[in-house]
Structure 1
Amino acid sequence: MVNSTPFPRLKRRLVAILRGLEHKNAVATAEAILEAGIEAIEVPLNSPDPFRSIEAIARALPASALVGAGTVLTADDVRSLDAAGGRLLVSPNIDADVMRAAAGFGMVTMPGVFTPTEALLAVRLGASALKFFPAFALGPKGIAAIMTVLPKEALVGAVGGVSEKDFADYAKVGVSTFGLGSSLFAPGMAPAEVGKRARAAADAWDAAFPA
């Protein structure tokens, strides 16, 4: 079993997915998201010049922020992510080489899973959290069914077709970690608008998961 890095204690277990983010808007967008109350930011690697954006964001935000990459598919990507200062690794799949490389750098990992087989393999490979993707295809009930065979300490996240409107339904089955993509960000969107959407998501999370 690969040693895992625990998912950090964030005020809200929300990850902002900035697919298509342009470098010129990277820092301003990330700062707006952080100010709105979301502390984890993912720049997918199929965005323009992603490692440059990740490096700029990681340098601009406080060390408490969790900044990293999505759509990480190879061990080379992991090494480039570490060089850019990223600490969060999100992938659409579960890959042993990627997970071992990430463990070597002490990264927080959220590999994509869809079945019990994939989820249990991700746990064995030391995933910090499980990214059930695409979550809309499983729904809260489908994810809840798979959760019955997972270790109780496994942190389960829902990503893909999820917005703040879905938090309450997922809360009923014990899922409190979410990746927010198109409901939060679209390429070319002004940082102020992204911040407004992030604030709405943060407020909805607080309502669904009261302290």
Structure 2
Amino acid sequence: MTGETAPNRAALPTLTRDGRLVVVARARRAEDYERVLDVLVDAGVRSVEVTLTTPGTFDRLPALIERYRGAADIGVGTVTALDQLERVIDAGAPYAVTPITSATLVERAVAAGLPIVPGGLTPTELFASWSLGASAVKVFPAGQVAPGYVKDLRGPFPGIAVVPSGGVDLDGARAWLAAGAVAVSVGGPLLGDAFADGDLAALRERTARFVAACAEGSGS
């Protein structure tokens, strides 16, 4: 199997795919999500990954999905165990993200029709997930490689869909997308101190720059 024709590969959700920008919202507590996500979505972000390292994320998830329905995909990240993935599936989240390479998680997501983006760094890790039917693979931590890594991967794996994550700043977002990444996953360089009661006007300005950069050359 080359991975190009993996059975039942779910496509990334339309908003995530078209926006080409996933904002990783790693809040201190789930009660802080809406204050920041309202600004992100209003400024044009179409995909937000809320993380299970934030206490209370599962309790808040149904309300977040409903609040931003039609405007932004609210995916769930830092999924590392099967019971967590089952809760993501039950909640009806549009996608899941895991920082690890796990056949168990990918196979379960594929069986449920849930788009999943598993993490890895080496070609062996990334292809293992891709060949099982992952919707895309997360190059993590992306700061350890260069955007040209996309071309390197596509030599042996022509159709692999790559999403870099970890330390991707504004210039990095442009470079990775120009190199062929299907989207970029961005956290701190965009969010800054937003979850520490930071300036939301400044957040809006940063968000607008990232959204514009990710729209460049997308045909939108």
- TM-score normalised by structure 2 residue count: 0.85
Shift of 1:78: 0.7
In 1, the alpha carbon distance for the partners of 2:111 and 2:57 equals 22
Unaligned runs of 5+ in 1: none
Q: 1:172/1:68 Cα in 2 relative to 1: closer, same or farther (>3 Å)?
A: closer
Equivalent residue number for residue 197 of structure 1: 206
Shift of 1:21: 4.5
Number of aligned residues: 210
Shift of 1:203: 1.3
AA aligned to 1:195 is R
In 1, the alpha carbon distance for the partners of 2:91 and 2:201 equals 26
Match of residue 108, structure 2, among 101, 111, 120: 101
Aligned counterparts, 1:181-192, within 5 A: 181-185=187-191, 186=193, 187-190=195-198, 191-192=200-201
Contact 1:38 1:198 in 2 (8 A): yes
- Kindly indicate whether residue 84 of structure 2 is the aligned counterpart of residue 77 of structure 1: yes
Contact 1:30 1:57 in 2 (8 A): no
SS of match in other structure, 1:150: coil
AA aligned to 1:120 is F
Moved more, 158-167 or 192-201: 192-201
- TM-score normalised by structure 1 residue count: 0.89
Aligned counterparts, 1:81-92, within 5 A: 81-92=88-99
AA aligned to 2:183 is T
Moved more, 69-78 or 191-200: 191-200
Equivalent residue number for residue 3 of structure 2: none
Give me the identity figure in percent. Answer: 26
Which segments of structure 1 move beyond 6 Å, counting only runs of 4 or more? none
Match of residue 42, structure 2, among 30, 35, 43: 35
AA aligned to 1:159 is S
RMSD, aligned CA: 2.1
Unaligned runs of 5+ in 2: 1-5
